[in-house]
Each structure stands twice: as C-alpha cells, then as structure tokens.
Chains A and B, each alone.
Chain A
Amino acid sequence: MRQAGAYSGILSGGGISGRTGPHLLPLARIKKIMKKSSVDVKMISGEAPLVFSKACELFIEELTKRSWNMTIQGKRRTVHKEDVASAVVTTDVFDFLIDLVHPNASDHPSLNEEYMDKKQ
C-alpha cells in the first residue's frame, strides 16, 4: 500500500509547514524567470524550478532576518526598503544585489547630488 502524503511530506518537510501546499512558490513563474536570465538557457529540467522554490525560500528567509536586524537597530518594528538595502550592503554574499537596492550609490554620487539640486 502506497504511503499517503509521502510526496507532499517530502516537499513541505524543509521546515515550512505543509498547510500552504507542497510548494510555497509557483514553479511555472520560477521557470519563466530562469528562462529570461540568459539567452544560453535552453532547456530546464523539471527539478530545477523545484530546487529554486526551496532555495528562494532560504534566500528570502536569510535576507529577511538580516533586514530585521537593521530594523531593530533603528528601534523600529516595521521592515522598510532601506533595511533590506542595508542588509544587502553588509552581507558579502548579497553583493550581486547592490545595484538593485542602491542604483545611484556606487557609480555616480555626484549625479545624485545634481538631481537633488534640480529638484529644488
């Protein structure tokens, strides 16, 4: 007799309860994002989006925890975009996100100032 729930048990058994379903993130969407990442990406096995669904969970958890540390340091209870940006900047492994969270900061600080002047 096949053991019921073996499949969903595995997929949800990563620390996240199964009440939201086997996957927390939609595999089709993940696959779309993968395809758009590079022209070299031709074919994607069925497992790859699955691995990402778990990996993204871990990634979001880690970045969220670090962002929360920033929130706490600021004696606040609401995580803001700036907290996420600070978490990115202070974590080496998140270097690839620096331009995403701080588009102006790295390259042209002077341009940024110019923009601020014009605003006034």
Chain B
Amino acid sequence: MDDSTTRFTTGEDETANQQERLLPIANVGRIMKQILPQNAKISKEAKETMQECASEFISFVTGEASEKCKKERRKTVNGDDVCWAMGTLGFDDYAPPLKRYLDRYREVEDDRLATPQRNEEEGQPSSSAAEFSSIPKPF
C-alpha cells in the first residue's frame, strides 16, 4: 500500500503553513549551538521544540503588549510596549539589554534621518556620538 504520494502533497501544504508561524530552524539551531559547549549536540526534535517555544514566546509577549495598547487606545505596538510586556511577564532580565538595544537603534536612526549630507553642524557632543565614534570629529 503506497499512500506516500498523498501524504507528500498534504504534508507539503501543512509544512508550508507551519513554517510561516515558526522561526527558521537553521537560525534557531545556530543560536542554540552558539551558547552550548563545543562537544554538545542538539537533536532535530529539540530544535523543533525550540522553534515552537520561540513562537509561543513572541505570541505571549505580543498579546500582553497589544492589550496595553488597546487600553491606552493606541493602534501601534511599538518597541517600548514590547519591552514593558516582557518586564511584566517575568522576563525582567531581558528588559535592560533590550532597552539599551532599542535606544541605540533609535539614536542611529535619528542620526541617519536627520543629517543626510551635513557634516559641519555636528559640533555638539551627543551621547550617541561619544559612544560610537572612536575618531574625533573634524570640527
């Protein structure tokens, strides 16, 4: 009895849908590998479980963040909402490095957007500049 063809077709559809709601297994596996000792091995099932857990994590935190936005009558879930939600749900340890990450991203974005081609006016010292440039400014 060969029902492999049938299974293959429906399985393919299911797989495609499933992959959409999961982070790529290669990326997940890489993060896992980087944190473990070199002699450690990771079973495929463990990576798959980790994929599921990561998606659940995103959903869990997003749900909380979006509740907050709803209460405050805001339509857009932003980075601060996500950070706040994480703190509220017990991921306090993540909140400070994330906040720093987000602040730095915003500083660079502001720089990028605000100063397209003007170098002369960068006279004022700013914390982002101090943090990121090791080369003293020309003026």
> B79: which of A48, A57, A64 is its contact (CB, 8 Å)?
A48
Query: Is B101 a contact of A14 with CB atoms below 8 Å?
Result: yes
Interface size on A, residues (CB 8 A): 63
Q: Which of A36-60 contact B (CB under 8 A)?
A: 36-38, 40-45, 47-48, 50-52, 54-60
A-B contact count (CB 8 A): 199
Which bracket fits the contact residues of B?
A: 35 or more
List, in ascending order, chain A residues with CB within 8 A of B101's CB. 10-11, 14, 50-51, 54
In the docked arrangement, what's the CA distance between A77 and B39, Å? 7
Q: Mark B14-46, 1 if CB is under 8 A from A, else 0.
A: 000000111110011011101111011111011
Contact across chains for A50 and B105 when beta carbons are under 8 A apart: yes
Interface residues of B, Cβ cutoff 8 Å to A: 20-24, 27-28, 30-32, 34-37, 39-43, 45-46, 48-50, 52-63, 65-67, 69-70, 75-79, 81-83, 86, 89-91, 93-94, 97-98, 101-102, 104-106, 108, 112, 119, 132-133, 135, 138
List 18 A–B pairs whose Cβ atoms lie within 8 Å, in order of A's numbering: A3-B135, A6-B108, A9-B132, A25-B24, A40-B63, A50-B102, A51-B79, A52-B58, A52-B61, A55-B98, A58-B94, A59-B53, A59-B57, A60-B31, A78-B41, A79-B32, A81-B48, A93-B89
